[in-house]
Structure 1
Amino acid sequence: MTRRPPWSAARSAALLPLLAVAGCAGTMDGAGAGRAPAPVEAAQENPIPKSLLWLHGSGEAALLARRTFSDMADYVVAAERRRAGGAAVESAVMAPSATLDAPRWTECGSKPAAVIFDVDETAILNTGANYDAATHGDPPFDAARWARWEEGGADLVEPMPGLASALATMRAAGVTVVFNSNREARFAAQAAAAIRGAGLGEAVHGETLFLRGDIAPGSGKDPRRAAIAARYCVLAMAGDQMGDFADAYNDRALSVAARRQRVATAPAGERIGRGWFLLANPAYGPWDRGGLDDLFPADRRWPRPVAPGTPAP
């Protein structure tokens, strides 16, 4: 992913107005007829951003992650078996000069097999940083603050559910696991320690771990992907946003609506589930700059009903 650290998590959730829903108790087949409706407890607002509740508390999130990684392992093992049988297999990294609307893929030839993983909120959950976000009012992104996290938070992370077993399956098939992250190269030792401490194995900087500042300056991952693909047959990639597969998805010139359309419809996205494996991350990403006018068309806005005699808001 093109990282925007977890303390930007609540911004998107804050755009959605909370609707107070009143419930009423009914009866079935006359049972309980004449009883007063059960009291409805007032909804209590949870101060933790909903995005973090999803990442850390949702069984659905864990299940989707496990299923995604299991499907990825099945895909990779099957592809490597086809290669062993003499079949030609395409790289999951887009060919040079390919575009999202006209994607092309190079054949792998005899290069050794590999897979590429984003790190933050794909391979690992930044549990310590996300706790900090949840308890400090979701402060805006602060580069110095995130640097302190990279430098000192290696033992405060968790593996994404299901990934360790999927990595074991792929490694057993002879596939090299490579991590491609926008963590800073100056904290390479700490990034490797976080991956290792999460039970995901060893990552060696410049070999199986690539970071911001490696190969080329900036946050774009295409140069690093190209360097990895020059050495390996990249059978699959995993990330939590589409920039983990191609930088063109993160074109800052695109409006929120235009990027949404591009992500949803560009032909390159047909690789999802077939070499590209995408996780849901509601906490941060290139989509989180949207405002109300970006998200909600003027002709699709519901004016909340006002009780008789109540002043309109």
Structure 2
Amino acid sequence: MKRLVLLLTLAMTGCAGTAKPAFPPDPPAADPKLAGMQYLYGSAEAAAISRQAWSALTFYVGEAMQGKDRRSVVLAEGATLDDPKFVPCAGKPAAAVFDVDETVLLNQGFEYDDLTGAPHRDFDDRWARWEKTGVHAVSPTPGAKEALDALRRMGVTVIFNTNRNAFNAGPTEQAIDDAGIGPAKHGTTLFLAGDDADGSGKDGRRATIAARYCVIAMGGDQLGDFSDLFAEASSVPARRAETALPAVAGLWGRGWFVMPNPVYGSALQGGAGDIFPADRQWHDPATPRKEVQ
């Protein structure tokens, strides 16, 4: 009888002589990009933050359009973050300037390919193909269409300033228009990398726009969507501190509006020692420490 019980037990746990593991094996490690994509493209929280930003921007622009003295939010040549000076409006028509990728458009198709495609592919070649062929695999960021429609009804010209390539102006115009947030016309309401000598810098294009318009609001997902001066910071803590400088701190939510993007860009840099100040680091005394950068 004991032998029969033993055989039945072995049969239920696999085969004789092989013990079944007490716990299932650890799942494969998730792609490090996944968490950011889960948040930006899938979460209700990111959608709510996006709508919150667009709602605040619409309210701010509405207030500005009702006032007599409209204020430009484009830094003038020679300005610094400690001493910002702005391009004068001088009776120019009102405009609002926006980055495109992950500001007014979610690049869902490109990021899906990035997550599921073969690793170690050349980014520049893949992005160029995306600009040309991915025009229908995008969506407006939550709240963008409603906000941009409202701005246009107020008489504000909506202008896009993006680092997409000028060689692909046609497909970029189509992507914006097909998403319902256009019109976008290269050289008029769409400015692209290659339009000037600044490369990925946007100050030159901003100056061109500000020469024609009183830019009363700007939106983007990177600090470079507001000023190239932010790129001059010497460290991660210094870059963060620049956003709190008294001369510019009041612009966030009052002319400068930031959209969430935990997936890519200049925000994603620094190791543990850069992110967490030394006087804010805590170690659980009951567990060993691991090496961090």
Work out whether the TM-score is over 0.5. yes
1:288 to partner: Cα distance: 2.1
Mapping 1:1-313, distance limit 5 Å: 47=31, 49-82=34-67, 87-136=68-117, 139=120, 142-251=123-232, 254-265=234-245, 267-297=247-277, 300=281, 302=283, 305-306=286-287
Distance of 2:88 and 2:180 partners within structure 1: 32
Change in Cα spacing, 1:68 to 1:142, as seen in structure 2 (3 Å) is same
1:265 to partner: Cα distance: 3.4
> How many residues matched?
265
Distance of 1:139 and 1:243 partners within structure 2: 27
Q: Once the two structures are superposed, what CA deviation does each residue of 1:23-80 show, in whole Å capped at 9, x if it has no partner?
A: xxxxxxxxxxxxxxxxxx9996654611000111111111111111111111112211
| 1:281 partner letter | N
Distance of 2:53 and 2:70 partners within structure 1: 21
Distance of 1:255 and 1:161 partners within structure 2: 32
Change in Cα spacing, 1:266 to 1:121, as seen in structure 2 (3 Å) is farther
1:286 to partner: Cα distance: 1.4
1:119–1:181: 8 Å Cα contact kept in structure 2?
yes
The match for 1:35 is none
1:88–1:108: 8 Å Cα contact kept in structure 2?
no
| 1:295 partner letter | I
Distance of 2:268 and 2:37 partners within structure 1: 14
Distance of 1:164 and 1:43 partners within structure 2: 43
TM (norm. structure 1) is: 0.78
2:164 partner SS: strand
1:266 to partner: Cα distance: 5.7
Q: CA RMSD in A?
A: 2.6
Q: Once the two structures are superposed, what CA deviation does each residue of 1:120-160 show, in whole Å capped at 9, x if it has no partner?
A: 00000000011012213775762111111112111110100
Q: Once the two structures are superposed, what CA deviation does each residue of 1:11-30 show, in whole Å capped at 9, x if it has no partner?
A: xxxxxxxxxxxxxxxxxxxx
The match for 2:19 is none
1:154–1:194: 8 Å Cα contact kept in structure 2?
yes
1:197 to partner: Cα distance: 1.4
> Whose radius of gyration is greater, 1 or 2?
2
1:157–1:194: 8 Å Cα contact kept in structure 2?
yes
1:129 partner SS: helix
* Gaps in structure 1 of 5+ consecutive residues: 1-40
Q: Percent identity?
A: 46
2:109–2:137: 8 Å Cα contact kept in structure 1?
yes
Distance of 1:55 and 1:71 partners within structure 2: 19
The match for 1:13 is none
Q: Once the two structures are superposed, what CA deviation does each residue of 1:178-223 show, in whole Å capped at 9, x if it has no partner?
A: 0000011101111111111111021000000000011324111000
Distance of 1:180 and 1:194 partners within structure 2: 14
* Gaps in structure 2 of 5+ consecutive residues: 1-23
Distance of 1:141 and 1:243 partners within structure 2: 24
Distance of 2:98 and 2:195 partners within structure 1: 16
| 1:259 partner letter | R
Greater RCO structure (CA 8 Å; 6+ sep): 1
1:89 to partner: Cα distance: 1.7
TM (norm. structure 2) is: 0.83
Change in Cα spacing, 1:54 to 1:43, as seen in structure 2 (3 Å) is farther
